[in-house]
Structure formats: C-alpha cells, structure tokens
Amino acid sequence: MNTNSIIIKSAGGLVKKNYSMLGDKSIAHRAILLGALGSGEYKVKNFPNNKDCSTTLNCMMQLGVDIKKIGNTLYISSPGYSNFNKKIYSLNGENSGTTVRLISGILAALGIETKIIGDESLSGRPMGRIVEPLELMGGKIKMEDNHLPLYFHNNSGMHGINYHMKVASAQVKSCILMAGFLSKGVTKVIENMYTRDHTERMFKFLGADIKIIDKEIVIRNSKLQCKDIFIPGDISSAAYLIACCILGTGCTITITDVLLNERRRKYIDILKSMGAKIKYNTTKILNEEKVGDIVVCSGILKGTSIDKNIIPYIIDEIPILSLLAAFAKGVTIFKGVEELKYKESNRIEAIIYNLNNMGVKTKFDGEDLIIYGEKKYIDKNIYIKTFNDHRIALTFLCAAVRSKETVFIDNWACTDISFPNAINYFKDFIRII
C-alpha cells in the first residue's frame, strides 16, 4: 500500500446534516483568468484552494498579476492585460485542462512568448482543438502531434472569426471567446451543442461587450471592470455527497449556497427523473450565476436513458451517475459519451473497469455507455483503480456506502485536484480503517 491509497468502510449512520461547499472549480478558474484582464484590484471569495485552480493562479502570477491568498479569499491586483509580461520561460499546466485551454486564448492573442507543459495525463490530452481556431485567428503556436508542449510565438495581432464548434467543449469555446475579446474585430462562436456558459456569464458580469442568442455568442473588445467575485459552492463536488445520501439509508442532507446554473444542475434533474427525492431552490444570483440550496433524502432509483445533447451538461458527473445507475432498478444508457475518453483519464475505461470489478455488468456500444443496474450491496472487498483521476476516486468512495466489506482506493491523493480535504466531508458516510 502506498501513502496515497486508503481503505474505507461504510459508517452506516443516519446522516442528517447541512453542508456548504468550497467554490466551484470552473468559476474559480474564470474568476482569475477573466477577472484579472482588467486593471485594478478585486477580491475572490470562497476560492477552493484545489490543485487545478492553484495552477491557474500560479500561471496568472507569472503573467504579472499579484495575488495574495488569505484562507479562502484571494486579494488580486492586476496591471491589466496590456501590461502582462510578454516573455515567460515556461508555464506549467500540471493536471489542469481548463488552465491550459483557457490561458492559451490569452497567450496567443497577446503574442506572449512562452511554452506550456503539463503532467503525464495532461500531456496525453488533445490540444489541436484549441490550436486550430487560434491559428485561424492569426495566432502563432507550435505543437507536435496534437499534444503539449505548446510553443507560443509573437504574432502581428490576431483578428476575430466566425467559428463553428467541432467538439462540444466549454474549454474550447472559452479559449476562443477570450482570444476574441483580446483580438481586433468581432468573434462569433456557434455551438453545435450547448456547453457550460460560465465564461459568457463572467464576461457579462465584468461589463464586456458580449451577446448571446441561443447557440451563437458574439464578443468584441471593450473595457473590463475589476469586481469582487463570490464563487458559489461546487456542484460537481456536491454531486458525491448527494450520491452518498441517496445510497445511504434514512439520510437527509442540505447543501447551501451551491451553484445552480441550468447547465450544471442537470445532474440533479436527471436524478429527479430517476426517482430521487431531491429538490433545489434558487436563493440568489451572484456574478450572473444562480445560487441556492439542495435538499436530498436516501431512496431507490430507476434506470434512465440520457440523450447525447445532455452529455456536455453532465460531462464531469457521468462517473458518479454510472455508479448510481449500478444501484438503480433497470438499465441506464448514456448516449454519445466519446468525449469521456479525453478527460484526466479515459473515463469510459475507468468506469467499466471498476464497475465490472464490483460485479456490475456494463457495455460500451459504439458511443453509448450502458449500465445494467439492480445491484443492492457489494459483499466482497473491492479494489478501486483510480487511473490517478480525481473524479474516479471520488465516485468509488461513494460505493463504500453500499458495501458490507472494504473498499481500497489506490490513489486518494489525486482528489486534491478538485476537492482538497474531501475525506472530512464524507466522514459521516464512510470511515477510514
């Protein structure tokens, strides 16, 4: 056993508790990347202090942004994008696809000379999807074989484009919107499927000239303000607490001040359609984002069929939904989940591998993932291979709630990527042995 692994067991209790989550990872990235484009000072509250967002923070400091962190508050003083450093030896994206794909839009448009590297997982993920539109806009980027490192060179100024998205990716969309904002002329992005819209909302909040009509987003350069940002609770992290509560017996939990953006709460809408006792209530709007409370009780789910155009909304929640589907009555089908192969791990492989080890039948058919439910309890010790992927580790932690034996997780430390100190949140549902 290495020091990164843990062995856990169900705590078996009746959990009745209120939780509040640290800030949403997607919004936290944007609070630094977009927030610091303007010149001036602002605060970011409820910063999640996870590894991915700290990666963005470190990269922006290398660009010349001054950031002080006290607890979960960032005190940011930015010189504004026109005063960012123009030559940086190297930026390290570590494990964070969001950092690399979004910051690339800034680096290219400002002609900053640098290279981006990343860890083994990130170095295996596709980057051509951002390089292609950035080159069409006049960016000068060198890349071999679709992967990091990316080499950014000075250019004679980038210009806007009309771009039809080829993959349904909020990261790619955000990269083009950020580059478009910093380029000459107008940029129009036309989505093929709706994806999360935090970049658009953050730009709007900061006063940018951005217009959104259905799947078309139009942006051009304008003055940006520096404004304090409160990051709502991370709904993707809350997803695991919700799952533990559903899988438990007689539990009721409330999660307060959590992000309830329409394109991120689909996980909850799907659980509802599967018969979960769950409700949410928007209580406020913060930085153009809906925020509110979720109440959930333990219960039995039934299988469902999830359409391809819903997949981008739940892209990070498919592992945990697959686990819940394993304990539901009947079959669950996720249609068109090919993109899951290109995440921190090949998540299709990781889901199938671990569910099969638990004795759950699965099938990957064309682009569809099929989970055959009906499991009630796990009655043997199981070994979870995380593939060093935080969302796989967090998903299969929840399996312990329905296990009569132990669950070994080969790399728990990787959960720091999105959810530091996660174990403290789950201590009423599971215990470490």
- Which residues are near ligand S3P by CB under 6 A? 26, 29, 98, 169-171, 174, 195-196, 315-316, 339
Least Å from the CB of residue 338 to ligand S3P: 11
- Tokens 């009423």 map to which residue? 428
One-letter identity of residue 32: I
* Shorter beta-carbon distance to ligand S3P: residue 293 or 317: 317
Let me know how long the chain is: 433
* Shorter beta-carbon distance to ligand S3P: residue 350 or 401: 350
* Shorter beta-carbon distance to ligand S3P: residue 8 or 320: 320
* Shorter beta-carbon distance to ligand S3P: residue 249 or 309: 309
DSSP strand E in 73-206: where?
73-79, 91-92, 114-117, 140-144, 147-153, 162-164, 186-190
CA distance 280 to 282: 7
Least Å from the CB of residue 26 to ligand S3P: 3
* Shorter beta-carbon distance to ligand S3P: residue 129 or 402: 129
DSSP strand E in 224-345: where?
229-230, 252-259, 277-286, 289-297, 305-306, 331-334
Least Å from the CB of residue 93 to ligand S3P: 13
CA distances (Å), origin 245, targets 19, 254, 297, 415: 12, 10, 6, 20
CA distance 150 to 131: 9
Residue 414: phi and psi, rounded to 5, are -65, -10
User: In the bound complex, which residue of the shown chain has the CB atom lying closest to ligand S3P?
Assistant: 26
Task: Give Cα 63 distance to the centre of its chain.
Answer: 23
Query: Which of 52, 197, 316, 389 is labelled catalytic?
Result: 316
Question: What is the torsion angle, in degrees rounded to the nearest 10, for the CA atoms of residue 70, residue 72, residue 75 and residue 80?
Answer: 140
Task: Give Cα 408 distance to the centre of its chain.
Answer: 25
Question: Exposed, middle or buried by CB within 10 Å (0-12, 13-18, 19+), for 136?
Answer: middle
Q: Is 69 helix (H, G, I), strand (E, B) or coil?
A: strand
Of the candidates 5, 11, 4, 17, the residue with the CA atom closest to the CA atom of residue 431 = 11
Please give the helix or strand (H or E) that residue 426 lies within, else none.
Answer: helix 422-426
Other C-beta atoms lying within 10 Å of the C-beta of residue 66: 13
* Shorter beta-carbon distance to ligand S3P: residue 113 or 368: 368
Tokens of 381: 């010790």
* Shorter beta-carbon distance to ligand S3P: residue 165 or 409: 165
CA distance 125 to 116: 13
Task: Give Cα 316 distance to the centre of its chain.
Answer: 6
Active site residue 66: no
Give me the DSSP letters along 342-357. GSSS-HHHHHHHHHHH
* Shorter beta-carbon distance to ligand S3P: residue 196 or 375: 196
Residues annotated as catalytic are: 316
